[in-house]
Structures are given as structure tokens and as C-alpha cells.
Amino acid sequence: MEYQLITEQHVLNDFVEAIGNSEVLAIDTEFMRRRTLYPEIALLQVFDGRHLALIDPLCELDFAPLWELLKNPNILKVLHSPSEDIEVFQNFAGFVPSPLFDTQFALQLLGSGNCVGFAAMVKDILDIEIDKSESRTNWLQRPLRESQLEYASADVAHLLPCFEKIVAQINERQWFDIVIAESQLIAQKRAFQTPDELLYRDIKGAWQLGGRDLAVLKELSIWRREKAQRKNLALNFVVKETNMVEIAKRRPSSLNSMRNIPGVDAMEVNRSGKEMLACIERGKAVSDEQLPQKVLRLMDYRGYKQAAKDIKHKIAAESKETGIPADVFASKKQINQLISWSWKHDETERAMLFAPDILQPWRAQYLTGALKDWLPEPK
């Protein structure tokens, strides 16, 4: 497949004009995520079936004309397993292309199982072996090698013919809207940020802590995310979760005592020790009446196992009725998500949180009757 590497504005403008009347575009991104909180885009691939471009975002380019095209509701954008690509677009372009068709989810919907990789899809549908030797290459290096460019172009060149075969089966079952809705859900979840006051509950090991310790963990959690966002550092490169729990539990009063906590990295203390001590002091200052309630694990709730079993049974029955695989309706994680949302949070907190996947539009449409005791009352 022939491709063009775009590094100049006039070439990008010509390409956008050439694909302007397309009904479907295959899209992929190459990015790096080493120590950063946000992915660093390194290449953008677009293919309309005739014109294939590898667009270099490290060059000084005005992407506005291309963004208008990717926002066009009349052009379907096809990606494979787009969760991280969605995050790339949210951070680099400030929006997510839509409508978006995820071929990996579509295959799951058709019964091919969870997380079918791109190479496996291409082999199964097109009987073509994909060379994955460049999958872990440094995409930010310049100039890009020819082998890298060939690899990147193959991702979208093979994606489009795979999509054409997949979408025919999806349309036959009248599930096209489900695929589009699932991609919208992924984008919404990627954009959502847990409120500061509830962030500590997502920390592994929080269930081990008492109220005063949780007050400290709450302060540490808010501070860590704010610093990660400000410095564009992966959360664990600010401070590891396990160390946050230990620091909250022991509440050291000096840098030396913090360094003596087993597992705590000296570099973490050198970089952020004073800030963490300030978090500890704020947690200590919380009045007894305002201390967080103990965080319970689902297994600590009476009736959890039976509730999960009942939900799974009802979903299995709906799966048999509709032909939609049960694991597409809800994985074990998504079932636990629903139970946690219902049992661990009051009405005020639920209004602040992103509703569980099972309560989102297309699933709720099918499951409202089966799970009426778990679904909110219609407005």
C-alpha cells in the first residue's frame, strides 16, 4: 500500500481535500507513554480506501481542517481498540472523532471473544500475517525509519477491509448503534474525573485504614493527582499507591521517619516529602466528626456473592434471548462496578460519579426489565 508522510501544511491541506467526501475513514495513532500521565502523540494515520497518510504531529502543522473532517457526523471513523487513541485525541486535539466504530468491540459483540488483537483480526479475516516487530519502537525519534512507516501504514491499510467484513455482520444483526454507543461510552469515561473528595476510595488498600488514616490518604490522593497533572507525570512516578497507604497508616512527622517506612523510595521522599508531610498535617487537622467512614471491600458486604450471582444469571438469560454475548453485557468487573455504585455510595455521591456501564444507554435499554431493582427510576 502506498502512503505519504505529511510534514508540510500544503500537503496536509491537499490530503484533507482529497478525502473530504469520504463516508468512512480508518484511523490509528502511534504514541509514547513512558513516565507521563498523558500519552505523547507521535504519528497520526488516516486512510479512506484510496489515500493513506502518515501525518507527523511533531511538525508545525495547522490541524484545524483535518479536525473539522474528523468531527463530521456524516463520516464514520473506524479504529481498533481505541481506548488509548481516544485519550490521545482528547489531549492533543481537544475532542474525540465521532461517530466512532471500534472493530475490536464489534468482534466481541459477534462472539469472537474479548480483546481480539489487531494482528489476530487481520490474520483471521484477511489471512495476512502482520509484522509486529515495530510495536514497541520509539515513535518520537526522528527521522522515522522506513520499517516504522510501513508498520504504521499497515495498521490502517488492513483496518478498512476488516471493517467492511465486520460491519456487514453487525448490520445483519442490527447492532450498528450498539457499537457506536459503546465507543461514545469509552470517550465519556476517559473524559470523566473522579471528584477530589471521593478519589481516596479508589486506592488499593484503603480498606485497611481507619478514619484518621483515611483523612490523610484523602489529602495524599488529591495532592498526587494534582501534581501528576501539573507535571504530566504518571501517578506512580509521583508516589506509588502502596506507599501512600503506608504513609497514611504511619503518619510520619519528618522526612527521616518517612524514609524509614518499608518500601518508600528515597527518591519519592526527596522529590515530594515536604508536600506529603503537609498532606499528613492537613489530615491530622480534620475534626473527628468529619473523618471519612471506613472503606469496605465488596466481599465484606453481606449478600455480595448472591447479588453478583443473581445479576449474572439475569444477564445470561437476556443474552440467550437477544444473542448478545453475556460478557459484552457485563464482565465480572462491570457487575462489581454496579454493586459498588449501589451499595458503597449514597444518592449524593452517586450523582457525582460516572454511572456504571450497565446503567449506560444501550445496556440499560436491554437490561431495564431484568435488573429493574438495580436501575434508577426513569425521570
**Domain final position from 151, 175, 191:** 191
Q: Is 28 a catalytic residue?
A: yes
User: Residues 332, 215: one domain?
Assistant: no
Q: Is 30 a catalytic residue?
A: yes
Report the percentage of the chain scoring pLDDT > 90: 91
What confidence category does residue 375 fall into, taking pLDDT thresholds of 50, 70 and 90?
Answer: low
**Domain final position from 236, 258, 290:** 290
User: Residues 12, 106: one domain?
Assistant: yes
Structure confidence by residue, pLDDT tens digits, 49-81: 999 999 999 999 999 999 999 999 999 999 999
- Which contacts (CB < 8 Å, 24+ apart) does range 112-118 have? 114/327, 114/331, 115/81, 117/81, 118/80, 118/81, 118/155, 118/158, 118/159
User: Residues 186, 200: one domain?
Assistant: no
Which domain does 93 fall in, by range?
Answer: 4-191
Of the residues 151, 200, 241, 318, only one is catalytic, namely 151
| Per-residue model confidence (pLDDT) at position 329 | 96
User: Residues 176, 150: one domain?
Assistant: yes
Of the residues 48, 87, 134, 155, only one is catalytic, namely 155
Of the residues 28, 102, 182, 213, only one is catalytic, namely 28
**Quick one: average pLDDT of 196-223?**
97
Query: Residue 242: which of 214, 296, 204 has the closest Cα?
Result: 204
User: Residues 12, 161: one domain?
Assistant: yes
Structure confidence by residue, pLDDT tens digits, 21-56: 999 999 999 999 889 999 999 999 999 999 999 999
Please say whether the dihedral angle defined by the alpha carbons of residues 125, 129, 134 and 136, taken in this order, is positive or negative: positive
Count of domains observed in the chain = 3
Domain membership flag for residue 376: no
User: Residues 157, 254: one domain?
Assistant: no
Structure confidence by residue, pLDDT tens digits, 315-361: 999 999 999 999 999 999 999 999 999 999 999 999 999 999 999 98
**Quick one: average pLDDT of 189-213?**
96
Domain membership flag for residue 260: yes
- Report CA dihedral (120, 126, 128, 129) to the nearest 10 degrees: 0
At 27, list the grid cell: 484511523
Tell me the average pLDDT of the chain.
94
Q: Is 85 a catalytic residue?
A: yes
| Per-residue model confidence (pLDDT) at position 379 | 34
What is the CATH classification number for the domain harbouring 187? 3.30.420.10
User: Residues 110, 128: one domain?
Assistant: yes
- Which contacts (CB < 8 Å, 24+ apart) does range 93-96 have? 93/63, 93/67, 95/67, 95/70, 95/71, 96/187, 96/190
Domain membership flag for residue 372: no
**Domain final position from 258, 290, 322:** 290
Domain membership flag for residue 373: no
Structure confidence by residue, pLDDT tens digits, 86-119: 999 999 999 999 999 999 999 999 999 888 999 9
Residue whose grid cell is 478519589: 199
User: Residues 25, 173: one domain?
Assistant: yes
Structure confidence by residue, pLDDT tens digits, 255-269: 999 999 999 989 899
User: Residues 256, 358: one domain?
Assistant: no
**Quick one: average pLDDT of 143-167?**
96
User: Residues 284, 145: one domain?
Assistant: no
Of the residues 85, 241, 246, 268, only one is catalytic, namely 85
User: Residues 170, 305: one domain?
Assistant: no
What confidence category does residue 159 fall into, taking pLDDT thresholds of 50, 70 and 90?
Answer: very high
Please say whether the dihedral angle defined by the alpha carbons of residues 280, 281, 282 and 286, taken in this order, is positive or negative: positive
Domain membership flag for residue 315: yes
Report the percentage of the chain scoring pLDDT > 70: 99
User: Residues 186, 313: one domain?
Assistant: no
Domain membership flag for residue 374: no
Domain membership flag for residue 280: yes
Residue 323, φ and ψ in degrees, nearest 5: 85, -5
Domain membership flag for residue 379: no
| Per-residue model confidence (pLDDT) at position 135 | 74
What is the CATH classification number for the domain harbouring 206? 1.10.150.80
| Per-residue model confidence (pLDDT) at position 376 | 54
Q: Angle 67-183-358 (CA atoms, 0-180°, nearest 5)?
A: 150
